[in-house]
Chain A
Amino acid sequence: MRNEEKYITFKIKRRDKPESTPYWEEFRIPYKPNMNVVSSLMEIRKNPVNASGHKVNPVVFECNCYEEVCGACTMIINGTPRQACSALIDEIIGKHGMERPITLQPLTKFPVIRDLMVDRQIMFDYLKKVKAWIPVDGSFGLGRGPRYDERKRSAAYQISRCMTCGCCAEACPSFNERSDFMGPHVFSQVKMFNMHPLGLMQKEDRLKAIMSHGGIQDCGNAQNCVRVCPKSIPLTRSIAELNLDVNLLAIKRIFKW
């Protein structure tokens, strides 16, 4: 075992620039214990030769933190949207064996820039639409912040770890180029700000934002989002709770309370 070199194969969906046609290319790299998909892509760029032995351009990909906290390296790995830095090769080959190529493709719900790199600007734009912030009077000192019940706070903490990675949006059938549906992550952010003792004061503004076009009513409740979220954010629970809030607000408006 020890002397014979083991290889793993990647099958990568590539594209040279936004408007060009995608193509698949295979790479083989020597196996080592403890590899992950990012460290494999780094190996490829040190010797950018494809499986047929041709020199090719290194594969372009995004990655900053290497610890699944920045969200940059999200891609589709063997059919599932996830972070490449925490996709351990040992785990993948443990499931599928050494022989089967590991497929990598860019997220499909966002415009591709090149190879595995996509543009997720729209996710940030939607955060603007729902006013996902606390409108403080200023960044100067005004004394202690509000008291916050630790139980509520830790529920909000769950949500606060959303890294805008796009896995949920990728998995969501309602989120796509033809629709303006804002996507699951947005609703949980609204929920989080509406829980905060100060954020509570602008609760209705945020609710109104998600009652408008592209809002919460377009969720088909397919539950795909919550299954792929790497941070286990209770996406569908937020949606259910917000649905209640939104309905209450609608009734309130009818009766002009």
Chain B
Amino acid sequence: MNPKAVVVGGGLAGLMSTIKLVERGIAVDLISLVPVKRSHSVCAQGGINAALNTKGEGDSVDQHFYDTIYGGDFLASQPPVRGMVDAAPELIYTFDRMGANFTRTEEGLLDLRLFGGVKKRRTVFAGATTGQQLEYTLDEQVRRHEDSGKVTKYEGWEFLKAVIDGEGVCRGCIAQNLATMEIRVFRADVVIIATGGAGVIYGKSTNSSINTGSAASIVYQQGAAYANAEFIQIHPTAMLGDDKTRLMSESARGEGGRVWTYKDGKPWYFLEEMYPGYGNLVPRDIASRAIHKVCVEMGLGIDGKNQVYLDLSHLDKDFLERRLGGIIEIYEKFHGDDPKKVPMKIYPGIHYFMGGVHVNWHHMTSIPGLFAAGECDYMYHGANRLGANSLLSAAYSGTVCGPAAADYIAGLGKLAAEEDGSLYETYRQKEVAYDDYVRKLNGDENPFVLHQEMGELMTRNVGIVRYNKDLTAADGELQRFMERWHRLAMVDSNVYSNQTVMFVKQLKNMMELARVITISALNRDESRGAHYKPEFPERNDKDYLKTTKAFYTADGPRFEWEEVNTSLLEPVKRTYGGSK
């Protein structure tokens, strides 16, 4: 009997985990909603951080570590972050050997660019499509392993449940085919959840449509702890749109872009004025709040709307083409105007989930045999993530998670393949029955409309600026949404490839997670990183230098606080004022 791993998700984290498992001789079933090459990781534009120090600026791993911890407002446990920044240069070189198309210097070395929240060039990039290039690089390596029979892909399948035995150990999972709608068992000795972020909970975000957080919510509902849900990065510069708020990469500011609006009839470069040290390159949370303040509190948005300018038009055209071609193309393509000539209109948009499934330093969740890696885990970014650090954490977490999962398997007494089938069959039948329930929903509400309502609620009440009364109200409303969920109409009667059935199931999971986010935010009476409460404007280390941990119960989430490991750096106040 041979051991078997299931990896759910084919973004950077899932693919890297898969490669590591294969190299340890373990066969992998790779499950993904979409062909893995189309995963959300392809959306990342700006770059990936590693202290390569090839610009003669004296950059160092220590500095990368400091910037990450400081940028995260000291909420990240420090040793795993140290591990990540230490490994970053070698990881980049590995990507490079695998053929990732990084932009070069004249000497043929990897070029570096400046990103937010740091003062040294540390960001490796591939034009303005870094995520696409990294994802394709790992996709190619996994295809190679697929070709030699070590990986079996299940693309177009959705994770429904982890199978957990009587001793509380994960033994595989149940997944559903999105075309035939078949629900089947995947026996496995470990299951790795690498399912990415959850922007879709907010309706519109910079995320892909598949980023519902559904899988993370499912394992939370099955008993895995969910940590720091209240920390959601709102990217300061996103285009406004009906379907999504498309990201304008931070590299636009890194390459010299300036943010402004009119005040007293004259251009006002408010970030440069408020934060002379970092100017337009203050970290994301700070920039987002400044834009919110200028538009919502001061009413100074362009054309009286919630929008300000992000301006590249003063920069050299060739330079812009070469360095920012990809994102300029996106703006032109989706908005019509040419950012080389006219300033872009932008507003903050929901972007990244710092929080996620709670894991130990080996990426195992509180359920033995169940691991989590990538944006769906909580480990590396504390209260706020620095730009270009999450492609790093996604790929790096795979390099930790894969080998740790292999070690775990080596210590197992009995393999999943030897289990008798009844455990699996019970789980499968439950999912079949639930599927049937969802198909027969015959109320009067359209699920896509209810989702829109939830997104609007979350954006309004649990967004950039948070007040406890709004959070309490949002939680009440979410509970009413959960009742309304049972009165949805199954608007699609087709038995085959029924996207509505799948969406309705995801919607339920999104609601569960939305409550965790909302109550986590309510519980934390301080301001830290991306979490900002005007009623509690300061960081409060005495009471809240702690990780929020949520556990599912039938009556709503139960919470615990966990100490943060600050053994390497003493917490200091995080400010981005002063001079450079």
Interface residues on B, range: 35 or more
B residues 432-449 in Cβ contact with A at 8 Å? 446, 448-449
Q: Which B residues are in CB contact (< 8 Å) with A58?
A: 448, 491-492, 499-500
Task: For the complex formed, measure the closest distance between the CB of B111 and the CB atoms of chain A, giving whole angstroms.
Answer: 8
B40 with A65: CB separation less than 8 A: yes
Bound-complex Cα distance A143 to B91 (A): 9
| Residues of B contacting A65 in the complex (Cβ-Cβ under 8 angstroms) | 38, 40, 42-43, 208-209
Cβ < 8 Å to A, chain B residues 324-360: 330, 333-336
A96 within 8 A of B: no
Considering the chains assembled together, what is the distance between the CA atoms of A140 and B97 in angstroms?
Answer: 10
User: Given A36-B243, A64-B38, A198-B97, are A45 and B448 also a contact pair (CB < 8 Å)?
Assistant: yes
Contact digits for B99-128, partner A, Cβ 8 Å, 1 yes 0 no: 101111111110000000000000000110
* B143 in contact (CB, < 8 A): yes
Cα of A164 to Cα of B36 in the assembled complex, Å: 12
Contact indicator A128/B98 (Cβ below 8 Å): no
Closest chain A CB from B83 CB (angstroms): 14
Residues of A within 8 A of B37 (CB): 71, 124, 163-164
A47's nearest neighbour on chain B, judged by CB, is B446
- A64-B34, A134-B97 given. 6 additional CB < 8 A pairs? A39-B242, A47-B446, A57-B493, A60-B499, A139-B20, A146-B97
The answer to whether B61 has its CB under 8 Å from any CB of chain A is: no
20 A–B contacts, CB within 8 A, in A order: A34-B242, A45-B500, A46-B448, A47-B446, A58-B492, A65-B43, A66-B209, A68-B330, A70-B40, A120-B35, A124-B35, A124-B37, A133-B98, A139-B20, A139-B94, A142-B94, A143-B90, A149-B104, A149-B108, A150-B104
* Residues of A contacting B446 in the complex (Cβ-Cβ under 8 angstroms): 46-47
CB contacts (< 8 Å) of B246 on chain A: these are 66-67
Nearest-neighbour CB distance to chain B for A91, whole angstroms, equals 8
Say yes or no: is B263 at the interface (Cβ < 8 Å to chain A). no
Cβ of A64 and Cβ of B330 under 8 Å apart? no
Residue-wise, chain A 36-79 has the 8 Å CB interface mask toward B (1 for contact) of 10110010011110000001011010111111111110000000
* A64 pairs with B40, CB closer than 8 A: yes
Which of B129-137, B417-425, B527-535 is found at the contact surface with chain A? Answer: B129-137
Nearest 5 A/B pairs, CB to CB: A145-B96, A147-B108, A141-B90, A133-B140, A39-B243
Contact among B16, B38, B143 with A139 in the assembled complex (CB-CB below 8 Å): B16
- A48, B491: Cβ atoms closer than 8 Å: yes
Closest A-chain residue to B101, C-beta based? Answer: A160
- Considering the complex, which residues of chain B in the window 272-297 have a beta carbon less than 8 Å from any beta carbon of chain A? none
Given contacts A46-B452, A117-B497, A134-B98, contact A153 B104 (CB under 8 A): yes
With A114-B496, A150-B105 known as contacts, the answer to whether A133 contacts B243 (CB < 8 A) is no
User: Residues of A at under 8 Å CB distance from B?
Assistant: 16-17, 32, 34-36, 38-39, 42, 45-48, 55, 57-58, 60, 62-72, 85-86, 88, 90, 113-114, 117, 119-121, 124, 127-128, 131-136, 138-150, 153-154, 156-157, 160-161, 163-164, 193, 196, 198-199
Interface string of B191-204 (1 = CB under 8 A from A): 00000000000000
Is there contact, CB below 8 Å, between A67 and B98? no
Name the contact of A145 in the complex, choosing from B97, B103, B496 (C-beta under 8 A).
Answer: B97
Interface residues of B (CB under 8 A from A): 16, 19-20, 23, 34-35, 37-40, 42-43, 90-91, 93-94, 96-99, 101-109, 126-127, 129, 132-133, 136, 140-141, 143-144, 146-147, 155, 179, 208-210, 241-244, 246, 330, 333-336, 399, 446, 448-449, 452, 491-494, 496-497, 499-500
Contacts of A120 in B (CB 8 A): 35
Q: Are A140 and B94 in contact (CB under 8 A)?
A: yes
Q: Give the contacting residue for A16; candidates B38, B491, B496; CB below 8 A.
A: B496
- Given the interface pairs A58-B492, A132-B143, A153-B101, the reply to whether A64 lies near B208 with Cβ below 8 Å is yes
Q: Which B residues are CB-close (under 8 A) to A42?
A: 243, 448
Specify which chain B residues have a CB less than 8 angstroms from the CB of A90 in the assembled complex.
336
Residues of A within 8 A of B496 (CB): 16-17, 114
Check if A67 sits within 8 Å of B43, measured CB to CB: yes
User: Are B333 and A136 touching (Cβ within 8 A)?
Assistant: no
CA distance A198 to B94 in the complex (A): 12
Closest chain-B Cβ to A43's Cβ sits at a distance in Å of 8
Beyond A64-B208, A124-B37, whether A148 also contacts B108 by CB under 8 A is yes
Q: How far is the CA of A143 from the CA of B38 in the complex (A)?
A: 30
| Minimal Cβ-Cβ distance residue in A for B499 | A60
CA of A36 to CA of B243, assembled, Å: 9
Cβ contacts under 8 Å, A46 to chain B: 446, 448-449, 452
Q: How far is the CA of A140 from the CA of B16 in the complex (A)?
A: 11
Contact (Cβ within 8 A) A143 B93: yes
Q: In the complex the two chains form, is A66's CB within 8 Å of B493's CB? A: no
Q: Is the CB of A35 within 8 A of B242?
A: yes
Residues in A neighbouring B23, C-beta threshold 8 A:
138-140
Smallest beta-carbon distance A198→chain B, Å:
6
Q: Which residues of A contact B129 (CB under 8 A)?
A: 69, 161
